[in-house]
Amino acid sequence: MTTTDTAPHMQPFQAEVAELLNLMVHSVYSETDIFLRELISNASDALDKLRYEAIAKPELMENGGAPKIQIVPRKAPDTLTVIDNGIGMDRQELIDHLGTIAKSGTKSFLAKLTEAKDGANLIGQFGVGFYAAFMVADRIEVTSRRAGSDQAWRWSSSGGAGFEIAPASEEDAQRVVRGTEIVLHLKPDAAKYLEAYQIERIVTAYSDNIQFPIELVPEEGEPRQINSASALWQRSKSELSAEDYTQAYKQIANAFDEPAMTLHYRAEGRYSYAVLLFAPSTKPFDLFEPQRKGRVKLYVRRVFITDDADLLPGYLRFIRGVIDSEDLPLNLSREMLQNNPQLAQIRKAVTSKVIGEFEHLADKDADSFAKIWDSFGPVIKEGLWEDYERRDKLLALSRFTTTKGENRTLKQYVAELRENQTEIYYLVGDSLDRLKSNPKLESAAARGIEVLLLTDPVDAFWTSVALEYEGKPLKSLSQGDVDFGLIPTVETDKDEPAKTEETDEALVIATIKDALGERVADVRASQRLTSSASCLVAGGQGPDRALERMLAQQSRGGASKPILEVNLRHPLVAAIGRPGQADAADLSLLLLEQAQILEGELPDDPAGFAGRVNRLVLRAL
């Protein structure tokens, strides 16, 4: 051990931690109670980890007694102490875990926290965990000994800029045989947390389902257990109330919202396992992290193994809860987790159950399902792209905003198809407003054809696979040919400009093609447009326009050239065909540039565009 290790050592907090502490000390959160829940949850995690490590090294359990958590309130000198005999932390772990926040999204979380009134809710969603204790304490001392280590360490901090770390005194080290002792020096206005009934209230409300005994150690009298310490998922459904489930959800998922869906069952047969899963009702912060990790916890015979086993596919990563297997070996290595056929089987069966439960909910309790869809629809839709087997089911579950309204299903869409309509039409774009004014909807609108308006980034991807619903293919209005020919118009062409002059269509198209040259792949007469002059579409093969744009933004492929479609009934287009038209080239370029702007793109040459418009306007003046 070096001298720097043994001397008390002041360490700065990571900038994000300092900012977070500052925010928590200076804002008034109504729900300070959560600090205790966070500390108990950490203690329970530490006991879980110990139990897991002890499978390979049973000697870790030798000293330190049976796993438990203790809460010790002391009125003089106003301290509340939370003790666990779990895995503990060595010096480096204390520095790493209690001095930094490893989570991604911390910066954006902090920005939200600064703005929000109800910070506690956000704290819960993000899980600031340990640091929540600084809401009630002005000084915290942590003494910890990693299981099996002959050295205990002491971490202490009064919030502010940093913490001190030093070897524990002999007295402290003797007391902390294994695990972690956290002493909170309570602020004057947090003295209520020294009352036994307050502590019991919080434990009952938040931590009753912690699997390990939680003991209250009063000033006088014997310690007593204040939680029920059962694995709730092992109990039978009939014993449990909605409230029990809500509490279990909050504790297991470390969440503050209500679950929007609860799925609890036991699978018996070739493999037996208990499943308790929840869909949250609000979005967590890390929903769109690139790793797309789920956090369903794997237990084997009540022993926590990992929350990193990818028990559900990426598109269900928002589901929280527990799967507890009776048959898996306790000593599952990381490799086994990835290749274990039994786990693969469980994964498959549970995924189908979750989808089945969605279907059930969508059918019986549409409002609850709508909540799930509102928060997680964009994630579930990833399954349309990657889960071939369940694609049809997922498509049937999907809810869409369409030109007819919100929350529409394809079942509704197909039930209201127009006469002779054989396809399901959609348009992909960045915003609903821009999509609604997209000229490509014109002809569909004139025929009363419903169009799905897709604005989630994932929409560009799943729509690139050939999909159909009840035998009706999905078809993009911005790709390839669209033929509405047999579908009658509903409005009597009120938007369609009447033809004012005889147009030589072939000549117009050839002139525009000539003027645009290499800028477009082709120029065609449009079936989609009624009142606008032009629009851009993708070819029949290859990616749709929205996907191309996304890929180009991420530099993952150059955009291929679009096709310009022109409305031959539009006077501007017709004008191009007039004999001796001197502005044909300018007008052709304008048609392209307008179409680009309507797509939310910039014209290729903005200065040239402005010059062209000015020239033509001035001439008319």
Ligand X SMILES: Nc1ncnc2c1ncn2[C@@H]1O[C@H](COP(=O)(O)OP(=O)(O)OP(=O)(O)O)[C@@H](O)[C@H]1O
Residues that bind ligand X in the complex, under the rule CB under 6 A: 38, 42-43, 46, 84, 86-89, 97-98, 127, 129-131, 180, 254
Task: Report whether 356 belongs to an annotated binding site.
Answer: no
Task: Report whether 130 belongs to an annotated binding site.
Answer: yes
Rounded to 10°, the helix 584-598/505-516 angle is 80
Q: Which C-beta is closer to ligand X: that of 126 or that of 358?
A: 126
Residues in the chain: 621
Distances (CA, A) of 481 to 154, 350, 418, 440, 536: 71, 42, 19, 12, 12
What is the DSSP secondary-structure string of 112-173? HHHH-S-HHHHHHHHT-GGGGGGGTEEEEEEEEE-TT-S-EEEEEE-STTEEEEEEPPHHHH
Backbone conformation region of residue 301, classed left if phi is above 0, alpha if psi is from -120 to 50, else beta = left
Q: Cβ of residue 288: shortest distance to ligand X, in angstroms? A: 18
Burial group, residue 164, by CB count within 10 angstroms (0-12, 13-18, 19+): middle
DSSP class of residue 561? Answer: P
Task: Report whether 125 belongs to an annotated binding site.
Answer: yes
Whether 206 contacts 250, CB under 8 Å = yes
Q: Cβ of residue 382: shortest distance to ligand X, in angstroms? A: 24
Q: Which C-beta is closer to ligand X: that of 21 or that of 550?
A: 21
Q: What residues contact 249, with CB distance under 8 A and at least 6 apart? A: 255, 258, 259, 262, 278, 280, 320, 321
Q: Cβ of residue 134: shortest distance to ligand X, in angstroms? A: 11
Rounded to 10°, the helix 106-115/15-26 angle is 20
Q: Residue 101 CA to chain centroid, in angstroms? A: 19
Q: Cβ of residue 61: shortest distance to ligand X, in angstroms? A: 16
Backbone conformation region of residue 375, classed left if phi is above 0, alpha if psi is from -120 to 50, else beta = alpha
Q: Cβ of residue 210: shortest distance to ligand X, in angstroms? A: 13
Beta bridge partners of 428: 454
CB atoms closer than 10 angstroms to residue 464 = 17
Task: Report whether 129 belongs to an annotated binding site.
Answer: yes
Task: Report whether 307 belongs to an annotated binding site.
Answer: no
Q: Which C-beta is closer to ligand X: that of 175 or that of 578?
A: 175
Q: Cβ of residue 346: shortest distance to ligand X, in angstroms? A: 24
Q: How many separate helices (H) and strands (E) can be counted in the chain? A: 23, 23
Task: Report whether 135 belongs to an annotated binding site.
Answer: no
Q: Which C-beta is closer to ligand X: that of 84 or that of 459?
A: 84
Helix or strand or coil: residue 189?
helix
Q: Cβ of residue 82: shortest distance to ligand X, in angstroms? A: 8
Q: Cβ of residue 470: shortest distance to ligand X, in angstroms? A: 43
Q: Residue 394 CA to chain centroid, in angstroms? A: 18
Task: Report whether 103 belongs to an annotated binding site.
Answer: yes
Q: Which C-beta is closer to ligand X: that of 84 or that of 599?
A: 84
Q: Cβ of residue 203: shortest distance to ligand X, in angstroms? A: 16
Q: Which C-beta is closer to ligand X: that of 131 or that of 358?
A: 131
Task: Report whether 539 belongs to an annotated binding site.
Answer: no
Q: Which C-beta is closer to ligand X: that of 180 or that of 443?
A: 180
Q: Which C-beta is closer to ligand X: that of 39 or that of 449?
A: 39
Q: Cβ of residue 254: shortest distance to ligand X, in angstroms? A: 5
Residue tagged 């400009």 (tokens): 497
Q: Cβ of residue 130: shortest distance to ligand X, in angstroms? A: 4
Residue nearest to ligand X (CB): 129
Task: Report whether 104 belongs to an annotated binding site.
Answer: yes
Whether 260 contacts 357, CB under 8 Å = no
Q: Which C-beta is closer to ligand X: that of 84 or that of 257?
A: 84
Q: Which C-beta is closer to ligand X: that of 73 or that of 127?
A: 127
Q: Which C-beta is closer to ligand X: that of 306 or that of 409?
A: 306
Residue 231, amino acid: A
| Token pair recorded at residue 417 | 């198809």
Sheet holding 405-408, edge to edge: 405-408, 400-402, 451-454, 424-428, 472-476, 468-469
| Token pair recorded at residue 521 | 């792949």
Q: Cβ of residue 330: shortest distance to ligand X, in angstroms? A: 21
Task: Report whether 89 belongs to an annotated binding site.
Answer: yes
**Dist. CA 144–CA 83, nearest whole Å:** 10
Q: Which C-beta is closer to ligand X: that of 101 or that of 384?
A: 101
DSSP class of residue 538? Answer: B
- Torsion angles phi and psi, residue 162, rounded to 5: -160, -170
Task: Report whether 334 belongs to an annotated binding site.
Answer: yes
SS3 letters for 413-430?
HHHCCCCCCCCEEEEECC
Q: Cβ of residue 256: shortest distance to ligand X, in angstroms? A: 12
Q: Which C-beta is closer to ligand X: that of 297 or that of 549?
A: 297
Burial 181-217 (b: 16+ CB within 10 A, else e): bbbbbbbeebeebbebeebbebbeebbbbbbbbbbbb
Residue tagged 């003790």 (tokens): 83
As annotated, the binding site includes: 38, 42, 84, 89, 103-105, 125-130, 180, 334
As annotated, the binding site for ATP includes: 38, 42, 84, 89, 103-105, 125-130, 180, 334
